[in-house]
Amino acid sequence: MKPFRLPRWSLTSCCGHSWGRRPAPAAAPGAAGTPSRREFLRTAAAGVAGLAAAGTLPAPAAGQVRVFPPPPPAVSPIEGLIDFHTHCAPDVFGRSIDDDESAQGYMARKAEAVVLKNHVTSTGDRAWLLRKRNPGIKAFGGVVLNGPAGGINPEAVQWSWRMQGGLGRVVWFPTFDADNHVKHFKDAPEGIKVVGPDGKVLPAVREVLKVCAQQKLVVCTGHASPDQALALIEAARDAGCDRIVVTHAEFEVVNMNVDQMKRAAAMGAKMEICAMGPLMGPQAHLPWMRHWRQVTYKESADHIKAVGAQHFLLSTDLGQTGNPAQWDGYAMLVSGLMGQGITREQVVTMGREVPGKLLMG
């Protein structure tokens, strides 16, 4: 068997086979047409000199510039902020993390507080447990007036705020059971109503608002339409409520325009901006999010500039399996808004001062 030979003068593949042409048979040293030993050494020396010269070339010519992500920020972009709208396990829907994991992630980034929301069960008791196990962060909960809570049910609101710790501070009017929601998405012929045929809020709604006013609870409009939300805000104000939020005001199921936002603000309501908004739309990574229109950072920034940062609050509405972690989504929201001209001072107003007064004022 002939020994394996790797012809240095020919381009070869990774396994030593020649490309394009077969190598010529080797000639004896010193034969005609072959270099002598002295010529070989002279050529080798020239090659070494050439390699040494190549090592002195400027860096761009010597190799490709390496690119890495930036280092961790010296200060957390969400330090001191409050996430007014989180979803965690256990739940009836897929959630990527539980209450404690969410709290620990936010604590590591020095956030101040979180609000636990669940569409089918109250969360004031879970907020109490979260605080007990994670004393470095504040937590609040509440009740959503969907079917499992009995719909527009003053008793559900009473028992929510009475839960040990008094942390059931938020009342959401119907979300996925709302009449506006099920008709918009054609889920059912009708859902839980908050207004009558005349556009005025129903008597049961007024009973709920009385409890909210007495206990200084935060009233959230849920998945009501803009006109229904404005009717709820007016009724809440008339009942003496001074803590009112338009739930994810920019999302498709609500979708307030600037004029409606200004009317809501004039009555004392705050509009919620959520980190999940930019993730939705036809190109969303999760199929169920493709049925909701995308809310861009620019759109949210334009709303803030038109209405005023003091009339908004920030949250994530995150926690779903397959979506970013809540704290990462919050950081993305802050970065996206500041990239559209919103100042850090405005971020603090919307992310800390406004929700802080609603929950702890």
Phi and psi (nearest 5°) for 177? -95, 0
332 has a pLDDT exceeding 50 = yes
**Closest to 159 measured CA to CA, from 119, 124, 184:** 124
At residue 44, the pLDDT reads 53
Work out the average pLDDT over 279-289.
97
Question: Is 239 inside any structural domain?
Answer: yes
At residue 37, the pLDDT reads 58
CATH number at residue 170: 3.20.20.140
Question: Is 13 inside any structural domain?
Answer: no
From the number of C-beta atoms within 10 Å of its C-beta (0-12, 13-18, 19+), residue 271 rates as buried
Question: Is 25 inside any structural domain?
Answer: no
152 has a pLDDT exceeding 60 = yes
Work out the average pLDDT over 210-217.
98
11 has a pLDDT exceeding 50 = no
DSSP 352: I
Question: Is 245 inside any structural domain?
Answer: yes
Question: Is 227 inside any structural domain?
Answer: yes
pLDDT tens for residues 74-110? Answer: 999 999 999 999 999 999 999 999 999 999 999 999 9
Supply the range of the domain harboring residue 112: 82-360
60 has a pLDDT exceeding 90 = no
Question: Is 3 inside any structural domain?
Answer: no
| pTM of the complete model | 0.82
Q: What's the structural domain count of the chain?
A: 1
pLDDT tens for residues 104-146? Answer: 999 999 999 999 999 999 999 999 999 999 999 999 999 999 9
As a whole number of angstroms, the distance between CA 173 and CA 241 comes to 14
Calculate the CA dihedral of residues 265, 266, 267, 271 and round it to 10 degrees: 0
At residue 183, the pLDDT reads 97
Question: Is 160 inside any structural domain?
Answer: yes
Q: In which residue are the tokens 């936010």 written?
A: 106
CA Rg value for the chain? 32
Question: Is 24 inside any structural domain?
Answer: no
Residues above pLDDT 70, as percent of the chain:
83
52 has a pLDDT exceeding 60 = no
How distant is the alpha carbon of residue 277 from its chain centre?
A: 8
